[in-house]
Structure 1
Amino acid sequence: MSTAPNTPAKAGLTDRILNGVERAGNKLPEPFMLFVILFLITGVVSTAMAMAGVVVEVPGADEPTAIKGLFTGEGLTWLTTTLGENYIGFPPLVTVLPILLAIGIAQHSGLLGAAIRKTFGSSPAWMLPYVVGFVGVVSSIMADSAFVVVPPLAALVFKAAGRHPVAGLLGGFAAAGAGYSTNIFPTSLDALFAGITTSVMGALPGYEFTPVNPISNWFFNIVSSLILGFVAGFIIDRIIEPRLSRQGVPVDETAVDGEEPADDAQQMRAALTSVENRGLLIAVLSAVVLTALFLLAFLLPGSPWRNEDGGFLPKSPLLDSIVFIVVSYFMVLGIAYGVVTGVLRSSRDAVRMMSDALKEMLPFVVLAFILGNFIALFNWSGIGTWIAVTGANGLEATGLTGFAAILGFIVLASCLNLFIISGSGMWAIMAAVFVPMFSLIGYEPAFTQAAFRVGDSATQVITPMNPYMIVLLGMLRKYEPEAGLGTLMSRMLPFVVPFWLVWTILLAVFFFFDLPLGPGNGIFLGQ
């Protein structure tokens, strides 16, 4: 019996748009060279503006600020004498690297993986989509590892519970990606964003800002994580899984290399070993003891972590100690779990775990060299100040000074996110312009940072520029050997618009009700 040759289906409008995005995105250079080009462009533009005698009138400043050019005697001297300082002084390095060392112990000791398995395995079948949604959203605590760890685990527990494993696979990835910028816990990403925000706040000399630290968006993040986790679960339960059943997507995973996926799934739903459970128990008890010690140290009258007025807000040594507190929790809990389970037998094991974590972060450490110098040039030249003042005046002239301006900013971030997957890289570009710009129309830098979180995440689960899309495609092909990127993107699309809309509405609620974004951080300047 002869069979008709396979002919490619005619691409629909969505596929044509995504193909265009892919072609355009592939033409962008890799991040380091992208910032080298931006650095050179900024240098040329600043030199031209300096030669033209451009000055900017900063509201509240005693004198106008003159633009300084890189390719002048003054500029070249500045570059050659501050190159290393611009790199080492890049604020994210000060906060991200210590937190990363501690997360390395928590992750490589098995603590984070065991906690996820415990959460998944103890959930009833009807609740699994919502558990996957919530765990996926908060899994950014593992950084990019979340894209590799959560989806296959979610697929296994779905299968063991008699539900469609592909729904768990896709839902875990979508929740981890579309909600990547938020978490109920402070993470290294919070420290990274806060460091970049702080580094560009100097573009407006004389302005009084509330300091930005890793918990400046914490209240907003907690609410966002809970709501987005529910939204992700609802989409998995009511849209993705029923659609997979209608399409006849097979439930059984193709066995590879003699493995028995069903056995793996049952193991995932099974209880943790007694050693793993004991490790989690000791880790929880360690957290309780550590919390008690912190409360004792911080809340005592006359505590050195209080400010001069005896409080903690808006600024105090306690808020400046957030990195230390986060590092302490991850390190103590990870060590406690690793010692009990036997994974961590000596200090050498701890050093190895921290070294492995740093190895995973080396691309950022390299990228930070040009990022730090790019931001330093942006601030030193005065271009950031000029763009901020000019942009603010333009927004005021068009009447876009309220939440409409924030909406435009979120849309822009969402579009750029299709091409620039690195949240830190994109924030480094946008923060240099929009933090000062929105400050001039009355918004705190912490609020601009919160708005960026909304635009930074949702669209990254549909862009081919996301390298983890290829990893997910390999996982999907275990169930659907013929699946392609178009298949994957069409399955991700139902998550994008709801996440974007719900998160934007939530930001609007905080804006219009003037709710605090985090401890000591509001929305409007001068509060």
Structure 2
Amino acid sequence: MKGERQLKKVQTKKKNGLFNRFLNVVETAGNKLPHPVTIFILFALLVIVISEISYRAGVKVSFYDAKSKSEQTLSAISLMNAEGLRYMINTAVSNFTSFAPLGTVLVAMLGVGVAEGTGLINAALKRLVLSTPKGLITAVVVFAGVMSNIASDAGYVVLVPLGALVFLGFKRHPIAGLAAAFAGVSGGFSANLLLGTLDPMLAGITNEALNAGGIDATILPTANFYFLFVSTFLITILGTLVTEKIVEPRLGEYRGIDPNESMEVTKEEKRGLVAAGISLLLFIALLLFLTLPQNAILKVEGNLDAFIHDGLVPMIMLFFLIPGLVYGVVSGSIKNDKDVVQAMSKSMATMGGYLVLSFFAAQFIQYFSYTNLGTVLAVSGAEFLKGIGFTGFPLVIAFILVAAFINLFIGSASAKWGIMAPVFVPMLYQLGFTPEFTQLAYRIGDSTTNIISPLMSYFAVIVVFAQKYDEDSGIGTLISTMLPYSLIFLVGWIFLLALWYVLGFPIGPNAFINL
């Protein structure tokens, strides 16, 4: 927004309260660390050293991986030898170019850049501010974030920065809006009113774990649907309360907004919005035609898996690009093709810092994977929990906490479940818990710590988004801001699961807690 660029930002943070003081310590300590790029370099060096120590100590783990359907024995692999050196040098470019968020963000930003450069986003936000009750906006942002996870990673690219802009339009702190959207998108990853791509993926791994354990049973992708449906409202309520009662008061007042900036929508903007809306509806109709019919063009063998995995990002780009172009032509903000290219170029120029950060973050994450340290940690954690002798619901809580801890080090939900399912599904089955319930407990732990893990693929992206509004923001700022969501989501979800356990409700169609 105009005022954001013109006025110097001034923030004051409230220091009262024990929890706030704790968060301030986390932020201060985190931000006293070097630049995030330097931190990822240091992390990578630390992985190199630990990998050598683990290799020399002969660290290895044996387990059945339900994802690959095979017995595996993995040893820690050192990077401090000739083979490791060759790996680090020869894969540096491919690590960067295959970094999942890189292409997703840059391609989507081409469309977003046009929508922003032509003024469409600004006009749409003004219309939103004038038509939406102020008291509902936080809940709407969190809820939209939760629902976005059905579209794979789209929420990280679209909704998180949009949440910041929405809050800015309401003259509220944009980082609070960013946090609310991020909490919904990532912290609420296992909550939705609809089934997503993760449901059949996890169910398939659970079924393989049952088969490997000699258990004659299978579960359906709908196994956790009832609980996840209700969880959508739980996460929306908790996310709203955390944003308004903890995060926003702690961030203090954001003064990077011109108080005299008019929120009136001009006649040109109104005409542009109407035309953009019509073009967007036509685009959505075309997209539905390409995806919904039984023999739709974008379906492969009757399903949309390939489209969701690979084709959704270009559609997101067009989702913003087409109405952005139409708005620009009708409102007069686009005079020729040069204006369009300039808007795209300006959008790309703002991502320079992200490109640098992505290169080093990608190296660190790939080193961690190559050395098998994440898998060693996951298997060791599973074996530890198996051996401590817990039974009943306390074991379930311990299982959730272990899954949440391991999630800090392994981002992929299916990869972790492939390792943990063969251990915990048969173990909890012998204690009378259904595999559907075990999978549900895992999903709670897997979701709640996404938002505080630097190893989460999109974490670096969110840091860059935050720095747009506070150039001093770093990893410490983001972790301290998101930590209340992580803790309260974890406690709230465990409480809901305990209530469900006591009442004995089904957790999905023909899916129960006890055998």
Query: Please, which of 134, 150, 153 is the counterpart of residue 169 of structure 2?
Result: 153
1:420-467 Cα distance to aligned partner (Å, 9 max, x none): xxxxxxx8x63359764443223999997885654455999xxxx999
SS at match of 2:80: coil
Checking the alignment, whether the CA contact within 8 Å between 1:134 and 1:232 is kept in structure 2 is no
Q: Structure 1 residues 12, 173: closer, same or farther in 2, change over 3 A?
A: closer
Distance 2:163 2:373 in 1: 37
- Counterpart of 2:399 in structure 1 is 405
After superposition, the Cα gap between the structure-2 partners of 1:236 and 1:403, relative to the gap in structure 1 and judged at 3 Å, is closer
Shift of 1:68: 1.9
Match of 1:305?
A: 298
Query: What secondary structure sits across from 1:57 in the alignment?
Result: strand
2:50 corresponding residue in structure 1: 45
In structure 1, runs of 5+ residues without a counterpart are 1-8, 156-168, 185-193, 195-205, 209-217, 244-248, 414-426, 475-490, 517-521, 523-527
CA 1:380–1:370: 2 relative to 1, 3 Å: same
- The higher-RCO structure (CA 8 Å, 6+ apart) is 2
Q: Which residue is 2:347 aligned to?
A: 357
When normalised by structure 1's length, the TM-score is: 0.61
1:288 aligns with 2:281: yes
What is the identity, as a one-letter code, of the residue corresponding to 1:28? L
Counterpart AA for 1:52: A
1:131 — aligned with what?
137
Instruction: Tell me, in whole angstroms, the C-alpha distance in 2 between the residues paired with 1:509 and 1:342.
Output: 57
Matched with 2:62 is 57
Structure 2: unaligned runs, 5 residues or longer = 1-13, 146-155, 187-195, 197-207, 211-224, 426-437, 455-462, 473-480
Which one of 357, 360, 371 corresponds to residue 381 of structure 1? 371
Are the equivalent residues in 2 in contact too, given 1:136–1:146 (CA < 8 A)? no
Structure 2 counterpart SS, 1:21 = helix
Aligned to 2:381: 391
Written as runs of structure 1 = structure 2, the 5 A alignment for 1:88-237 is 88-123=97-132, 127-131=133-137, 133-135=139-141, 149-155=165-171, 169=172, 174-182=176-184
Distance 1:33 1:207 in 2: 41
Change (3 A) 1:498 1:14: closer
TM-fit CA distance, 1:325 = 1.9
The answer as to whether partners of 1:435 and 1:448 remain within 8 angstroms in 2 is no
Contact 2:397 2:494 in 1 (8 A): no
Q: Quick one: distance in 2 between partners of 1:320 and 1:101?
A: 17
Q: For residues 104 and 300 of structure 1, what CA distance do their matches in structure 2 show?
A: 32
Q: How many residues align?
A: 411
Report what 1:344 is aligned to: 334
- Once the 2 structures are TM-superposed, how far is the Cα of residue 174 of structure 1 from its aligned partner? 3.4
For the 8 Å contact 2:138–2:240, the answer to whether it is kept is yes
Give 1:234 shift: 7.5
1:306 deviation in Å?
A: 2.3
CA 1:306–1:401 in structure 2 vs 1: closer, same or farther (change >3 Å)? farther
| Structure 1 residue 330 corresponds to structure 2 residue 320 | yes
SS of match in other structure, 2:350: helix
Residue 472 of structure 1 deviates from its aligned partner by 8.3
Q: Match for residue 409 of structure 2?
A: 430
Is the Cα contact below 8 Å between 1:99 and 1:327 reproduced in 2?
A: yes
Distance 1:391 1:294 in 2: 44
Instruction: Tell me the equivalent position of 2:428.
Output: none
Partner SS for 1:431: coil
* 1:32 paired residue among 37, 42, 46: 37
Provide the TM-score with structure 2 as the length reference: 0.63
**Cα–Cα, structure 1 residues 118 and 454, in superposed 2: closer, same or farther, change >3 Å?**
farther
Cα deviation, residue 16, structure 1:
4.6
CA distance in 2, matches of 1:101, 1:384: 35
